């Protein structure tokens, strides 16, 4: 540290003349990396945002990135009002849209549709019924093989 100038010592916290009178400057975070897992998605959406961002703004940004990257499964709606943000998929309590990220104490969240909304819109209800109930010919064939 002897080779540092007085300005560099002050920047590194090495004291020196011209200190701030014992007053430390607190560094404010310019932006934070937040990861949002969307229900049934393979990986989290990474959002770089200021810490003053609200939960509602984070949901809008995460959904926008998800749609822009054309991730699967497709979302039935890109409206943030249709979704809830939670601390994890096991948390029952959703976060309030007006809460600020810096007050939450976490940078990992889980986004899921509000009750009554479906995330995956690629299947219609008739297709879902066909997948749920196998055709009779396959069932008879499997039964024949087991005998």
Domain positions in the chain = 27-142
Q: Phi, psi (5° rounding) for residue 69?
A: -80, 0
pLDDT of 65-79, one tens digit each?
999 999 999 998 999
Please answer whether residues 101 and 49 qualify as being in contact, where contact means their C-beta atoms are separated by less than 8 angstroms. Answer: yes
What CATH number belongs to 27-142? 3.10.20.90
Q: Phi, psi (5° rounding) for residue 61?
A: -65, -45
pLDDT at residue number 97: 96
pLDDT at residue number 26: 63
Give the mean model confidence (pLDDT) for residues 38-67. 95
Please answer whether residues 66 and 45 qualify as being in contact, where contact means their C-beta atoms are separated by less than 8 angstroms. Answer: yes
pLDDT at residue number 124: 44
- pTM beyond 0.75: no
Q: Phi, psi (5° rounding) for residue 35?
A: -110, 130
pLDDT of 100-125, one tens digit each?
999 999 999 999 999 876 545 444 44
């Amino acid at each position: 540290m002897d080779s540092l100038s007085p300005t560099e010592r002050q920047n590194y916290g090495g004291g020196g003349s011209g200190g701030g009178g014992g007053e430390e400057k607190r560094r404010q975070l310019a932006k934070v990396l937040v990861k949002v897992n969307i229900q049934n998605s393979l990986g989290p959406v990474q959002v770089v945002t200021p810490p003053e961002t609200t939960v509602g703004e984070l949901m809008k940004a995460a959904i926008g990135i998800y749609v822009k990257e054309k991730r699967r499964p497709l979302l039935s709606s890109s409206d943030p009002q249709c979704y809830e943000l939670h601390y994890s998929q096991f948390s029952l309590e959703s976060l309030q849209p007006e809460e600020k990220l810096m007050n939450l104490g976490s940078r990992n969240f889980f986004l899921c549709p509000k009750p009554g909304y479906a995330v995956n819109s690629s299947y219609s209800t008739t297709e879902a019924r066909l997948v749920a109930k196998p055709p009779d010919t396959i069932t008879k064939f499997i039964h024949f093989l087991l005998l």
